[in-house]
Amino acid sequence: MTASMRARRLGERVTAPFGRRLCEVTRNLTSGGYRIFSVSDPVGPEPAAGQFYMLAADAGWGGNEGRPYLARAFSVADGESYADGIRLDFLVQAVGPGTSRLAALEAGEELWIHGPLGRPFAPPHELVEGAAGAVLVGGGIGVAPLAIWRRQLLAAGIPARVLLGFRDRANSGGVELFDCSEIRLASEDGHTGHRGYVTDLLGVLLEGDDAPSAAVYACGPPAMLEAVRLMCAERGVACELAMEAPMACGFGACFGCAVPRAGGGYMRLCVDGPVVRGEEIETALVPGSGH
Ligand SMILES: Cc1cc2nc3c(=O)[nH]c(=O)nc-3n(C[C@H](O)[C@H](O)[C@H](O)COP(=O)(O)OP(=O)(O)OC[C@H]3O[C@@H](n4cnc5c(N)ncnc54)[C@H](O)[C@@H]3O)c2cc1C
Ligand code: FES
């Protein structure tokens, strides 16, 4: 029995098959200022929420054409089995040569993928005894891993509240990946939802009596993650953060993604993360990450 065939525990880390594999792009849609593209992965396995893949287009990547050269890291926004394999969804914001090439992929083109990689989100009951549910806090392109996490939590019968924040219209998207109306939105320019930060919404939610029994899961820009980490620490609320650092290999070999651990030493975010508990790190303000 293969790993993808057996029923997996929620939050169980999934191991990638050896090497990279070529997958067909099946769609590429506009989503606000971002793009959602999907690939058909005939091999699998189905990823766990919070894991990521290293992606590189087959054409228009490296070689004599120069940058981008190395594969780029992307959180999986969804990944579900269907008759021909696994459909993987990714949310991308074009910020440089790699992301611009991925944003321009057309259906029928091919993409090299390596993954799923890294440590996924842990279920609320592993973070808090007698957990009442999950609170998902996303900022900008960081909403991606929370979409698959919400779907997996709901499938396991675990309630999840979703708070998403965006800077402005151009730096927003991916809301439809959540496939639900119970999302609270915030935007800094006021184009949607509460005018201000998504952490304003979290602050209100954490005033509730049941807050200490919630597990908070966050992904977004470093300043947002650091604010969430501090808010949760001050209130004794458990949290996990899906972080980013510049990643050259994605599997522990280059040490490019090292971040300081609380209490000394370093962790490699590609193997010890990208999901980390709030108390494991000194700060979420990682140099070279976030856009
Ligand atoms: C675990 C993980 C998951 C990620 N998930 C997503 C995702 O779901 N969607 C998405 O669009 N992006 C995601 N990223 C960020 C993405 O990998 C980078 O934006 C990408 O590598 C940039 O490549 P580029 O060639 O387009 O630009 P580059 O020329 O490499 O960089 C362009 C700009 O982006 C900044 N940048 C470079 N690397 C990162 C990084 N890791 N994080 C933030 N900013 C960076 C640079 O400082 C520069 O300003 C993720 C990164 C990691 C580590
Ligand atoms: S990206 Fe190479 S060790 Fe983490």
Residue 3: what pLDDT?
Answer: 45
Q: Which atom of ligand 2 is nearest to the CA of 258?
A: 4
Strand partners, 111: 23, 57
Kindly state the helix (H) or strand (E) to which residue 233 belongs, with its residue range. helix 222-235
46-91 residue pLDDT tens: 999 999 999 999 999 987 667 788 999 999 999 989 888 999 999 9
* Nearest CA residue ID for atom 39, ligand 1: 289
Structure tokens at 20: 């990279």
Determine contact, residues 101/182, Cβ cutoff 8 Å: no
Residue 270: what pLDDT?
Answer: 98
Residues in contact with ligand 1 by the CB-under-6-Å rule are: 52, 68, 72-75, 91-93, 95-99, 141, 144, 244-247, 274, 288-291
Q: Which ligand is nearest to the CA of 259?
A: 2
Pairing of strands 133-139, 214-219: parallel
Q: Which atom of ligand 2 is nearest to the CA of 252?
A: 3
163-182 residue pLDDT tens: 999 999 999 999 999 977 77
Structure tokens at 84: 């021909």
Q: Which residues of the chain have pLDDT under 50?
A: 1-4
Residue 132: what pLDDT?
Answer: 86
The CA 289 to ligand 2 mean position distance, Å, reads 14
Q: Which of 70, 78, 142 is nearest to 101 (CA)?
A: 70
Q: Half-sphere exposure of residue 23, counting CA atoms within 13 Å on the CB side?
A: 28
